[in-house]
Structure 1
Amino acid sequence: MSSANPPAVQDCIVKDGAQHLSAVRDGRAVYLNGKLVGDVTAHPAYRNAIGSAAMLYDHQARPENIERMTFDLGGGRRVNRAWQHPRSYGEMVERRKALVEWAELTCGFLGRSPDHVASSVSAQYMGAEVFDRHDPARGKAFRDWYEHARANDLFLTYVINNVQGDRSKAFGDQGEGAEDMIARIVDEDSSGITIRGAKLFATSAIMANEIFVGSGQPLKRGEEDMAFSCALPMNAKGMKLLSRRSFEEAATSEYDHPLSFRYDENDALIFFDDVKVPWERIFVYRDTDMCRAQLHDTGAHVYQNYQAQIRLSVKLRFLVGLARGVAETIGTVNMPPVREQLGKLASQAALIEGMVLGMEAGGQMVGEYYLPNKHLLYAAQVQSQEMYPQVIQVIRELAGGALLMLPSSVEDFSHPELSRVIAATQISPAMTGEERVKLMKLTWDAVGTEFASRHLQYEMFYAGGQYVTRGHSYRTYDWGRATGMARNVTQSYQLADFLKKSDQAA
């Protein structure tokens, strides 16, 4: 069927949650608490988070949502708008609205939802001539893999950071005993390369379909063995996922931990134990500068972080809503100092959302595609890294002891005497005692639990240290326009003119 006459949306093929769950049951090697996990979709450490990812696909597949959430690839196939290549400001806005809708389903707490890495690799595809200059064969390999990933609406994750090791030394100079610390090429033949070593941070890898492996950190001459990028299925032979502690597994109930029970996307260290990668899945080969170019000479770094700011704007809106709910619950919402704090929180959330809109309005065509404004993106990152801890702190201050004066678990309600005490002490001018407990437990899971602490660390550092984001802001700002105004003023008068007037007056 021609693209001029696409099939009705209800007749299109769209990935749904059942398809995603089936694909994740692939025998991937996930380790937790010293044991091989097995089926991650059924394990109490991961099943709900994976279910939340499946829920996103179910949402896009509902007939009433298909037009907004997906676009037509041709041949009756539709995929999420994260894979869309905007050719105008209007298409970028249309795409962003779909990403916002997905983020709202998880309150922004799936930091590496499927639209994140899809945004990055889509921008790499839009700038794929960068690969061709490196090696036409690598360019073809990337295009072929990308088209496969997009056609199947894959949930991708990535590992583009190296293990910290000794930060006073270069990655390639870690010394004896560190040979397997950082993933590197250890062998190659006519069929591909073999990689051994580790990469970070495989957020959402446990629920993803495939993983992109690259280097987002600078490499130097002599580190060519580390200078590669590739893509692998999550069940690749020899690839081991070492999971961090599962907050989902520690969540006693959805009532007591409503966020960590559902949205603990998990983070993992990936160890490549002599993993064979075929040439058709290798995109950068032994070129340290190309590792940089893949992300920065294409629009990848911009698009992936633009998506992150879209998601964060939703998360901040959720947190500001929680702050207002806390103030209403404990009866302080009409106090002038509290309203002042809420007003500041609202302005901070609106600042990031406004900067997202500015990135789009201030964007430009690069070739045939529309890219958001780089500097506004990096400026938003600088602001949000500082802002997120401040927002969390204000919510804690607004709540005070209310976050500590809570029943130990939902089980307390089943005890008649305890239930009576709860009803007598959980008093609110805005809601019932039970509703108050629910709101405060939700708030604590957002700002105080181990799950919340992980999110605080994530939002502060997912884009790199502050010196990194501030460096991007410095690099992309229009300094000529800014300093030019002062220069125009100082050049409008000359010392000689004043001396001449002084001589004449004398």
Structure 2
Amino acid sequence: MPKNGAAHLASLQDDRCVFIDGKRVENVTTDPAFRGAVASACALYDYQAAPENIETMTFASPKTGARVNKSWMMPTSHAELVARRVSIERWSAQTCGMLGRSPDHVASTFVGFRMGLDVFGANDPKRAAALADYFDYIRDNDMFLSYVIVNPQADKAKSASGQPDKNLVASIVDEDAEGVTIRGAKMLATSGILANEIMVSGFQALQQGDEDYAFTVAMPLATRGLKLLSRRSYEGAATSTFDYPLSARFDENDAVVVFDDVKVPWERVFVYRDLKMAQAQWHQTRAHVMQNYQSMIRLTQKLHFLLGLARKIADLNNIITYPQVREQLGLIAAKVANMDALVIAMEAKGEQFGQYFVPDRSLLCTAQVVAQTTYPEIVEAIRLLSGGGMIMVPSSHLDFAADETADIIARTQRSPVAGSHDRVKLMKLAWDAVGSEFGSRHLQYEMFYSGAQFVTRGNSFRFFDWDNAKTRVDDFMASYDLDVENKLNVAAE
């Protein structure tokens, strides 16, 4: 039987060290700051384990034969790539696309690493063997992983080794026959509190002198010396699910991860003090492609949800017949459809990477660029369609419980297509999606999780087929010249 919610819930009760609001959390599965998100993560595993979903959501591990999530599949054909995408879509739909770091995200990263095992092997066979064994372990146990690959923000003009505090950024400070010792910090550990294990690496460019920061390792969240300092919990601040339907369920959390001399055994070290491999692991394998392909699939599900929300707001306010409203909705509908098309196109134009079939990298980069402008445009459209409606709603669900305030709600919250209860319910959802702390965090997340715009646009430039584009111009220019022009003029005379 595939992993279910009960199994995941039990796996999180491991005495991990999490701090929030000045206190250590006793149990993340029951703490008011996290329990809703934990329940949502567990619901994903219950969904995959439901008998009617097993075939769509899981496949047989090639090593054990046990059913595990399809995000661990390394597709060898277009059909397998599409089947894998369908399972990601199904999971994403369960959370309205709001869990940016659902279990299939870092699983996709490791699938990309494993596809490029020869890249690791050519550099260091021992580290490649460690990666292969670890991949089998996390796949066959259907584990939920998070990662931290961004350095704490300090002096961004300096490299990791150039910071005033040498231990600000996580680095290797010692090693012995058993493994390496990590000291310092990384961020953002999105969904780290929901996960079983965490990968520690780096995506930012390194330079000579940064060797101690050039590593990739993995460890359980309950590892001794590993501490998570959580940001503010939007779930904890939610007064009810009715008032904050997204915050109360899908606040996946972000945290700074501190490593106080954490010992990592060699079998969990995949890149070791290697500046070249620290970058090659992302782009010479297909890790960057596979993890962001998952992100684009997840985002399309989220965009469809927000598009539906925008349409329902227009219906609620009886403005759907206004030409300018139809124009606005038509525009954002086209942008959402464009994202759908890009996902399908990157599959259709996919390529063989060794024995594996992977999405087209250039179109993936295109989708990332488009996504960074599409998401804020849809948020803005929801704001414009809502006007003051999503602000001027009752303070909380308790206003429905008191006769006097319930009467005021009934008289002032009106719509030609819905009662006062349904109007308030929709407007509170709209506010949580785009106006609350939760909504604001999601806007920031969608604009930056792939990197700043200069990064995504730089990748688009880097991986676009410029030779093909320039050849078209060269071929056409070769079809005419001064001599040809002169001959044409003579013939005309």
Note the 1:27-426 alignment, pairs <5 A: 27-73=15-61, 75-175=64-164, 178-426=165-413
Q: Which amino acid aligns with 2:269?
A: I
Deviations 1:7-61 (A, max 9, x none): xxxxxx2100000010011011001011111100010000110110000000000
**Alpha-carbon deviation of 1:498?**
3.7
Q: Give yes or no for contact 2:48–2:57 (8 Å, CA) kept in 1.
A: yes
Q: Secondary structure in 2 aligned to 1:200?
A: strand
Q: Which amino acid aligns with 1:40?
A: V
Give aligned-pair identity as a percent.
52
Q: 1:435 aligns with which of 422, 437, 452?
A: 422
C-alpha distance in 2, partners of 1:400/1:502?
A: 66
**Alpha-carbon deviation of 1:415?**
0.7
Q: Which amino acid aligns with 2:8?
A: H
Q: Secondary structure in 1 aligned to 2:311?
A: helix
C-alpha distance in 2, partners of 1:386/1:19?
A: 39
Q: Secondary structure in 1 aligned to 2:432?
A: helix
Q: Secondary structure in 2 aligned to 1:384?
A: helix
Deviations 1:149-198 (A, max 9, x none): 000000001111111211122221123xx121100011111111101001
**Alpha-carbon deviation of 1:221?**
1.4
Q: Give yes or no for contact 2:193–2:253 (8 Å, CA) kept in 1.
A: yes
Q: Give yes or no for contact 2:159–2:210 (8 Å, CA) kept in 1.
A: no
> How many aligned residue pairs are there?
492
**Alpha-carbon deviation of 1:444?**
0.6
Structure 2 segments unaligned to the other structure (5+ residues): none
C-alpha distance in 1, partners of 2:318/2:46?
A: 39
Q: 1:475 aligns with which of 462, 465, 485?
A: 462
Q: Secondary structure in 2 aligned to 1:160?
A: strand
C-alpha distance in 2, partners of 1:252/1:284?
A: 45
1:7 counterpart residue number: none
**Alpha-carbon deviation of 1:86?**
0.6
C-alpha distance in 1, partners of 2:489/2:333?
A: 57
**Alpha-carbon deviation of 1:499?**
5.3
Q: Which amino acid aligns with 1:348?
A: K
Note the 1:16-35 alignment, pairs <5 A: 16-35=4-23
**Alpha-carbon deviation of 1:497?**
4.0
Q: Which amino acid aligns with 1:272?
A: F
Report the TM-score when normalising by structure 1.
Answer: 0.95
**Alpha-carbon deviation of 1:76?**
4.6
Q: Indicate the larger mover: 136-145 or 479-488.
A: 479-488
C-alpha distance in 2, partners of 1:294/1:88?
A: 23
Superposition RMSD in Å: 1.3
C-alpha distance in 2, partners of 1:280/1:502?
A: 76
Q: Indicate the larger mover: 473-482 or 458-467.
A: 473-482
Report the TM-score when normalising by structure 2.
Answer: 0.98
Deviations 1:256-292 (A, max 9, x none): 0000000000000111000001111100111011011
Q: Which amino acid aligns with 1:49?
A: A
C-alpha distance in 2, partners of 1:202/1:108?
A: 18
Q: Secondary structure in 1 aligned to 2:188?
A: coil
**Alpha-carbon deviation of 1:251?**
0.4
Deviations 1:272-316 (A, max 9, x none): 000001111100111011011111111000000000000000000
Q: Which amino acid aligns with 1:72?
A: A
Q: Which amino acid aligns with 1:185?
A: I
1:486 equivalent to 2:473? Answer yes
Q: Secondary structure in 1 aligned to 2:61?
A: strand
Q: Runs of 4+ in structure 1 displaced over 4 angstroms?
A: 499-506
C-alpha distance in 1, partners of 2:162/2:427?
A: 49
C-alpha distance in 1, partners of 2:484/2:242?
A: 78
1:451 counterpart residue number: 438
C-alpha distance in 1, partners of 2:490/2:303?
A: 64
Q: Which amino acid aligns with 2:131?
A: F
C-alpha distance in 2, partners of 1:241/1:201?
A: 10
C-alpha distance in 2, partners of 1:452/1:121?
A: 29
C-alpha distance in 1, partners of 2:480/2:293?
A: 44
C-alpha distance in 1, partners of 2:55/2:157?
A: 52
C-alpha distance in 2, partners of 1:222/1:134?
A: 19
Deviations 1:37-91 (A, max 9, x none): 1100010000110110000000000111101100011545100000011110001
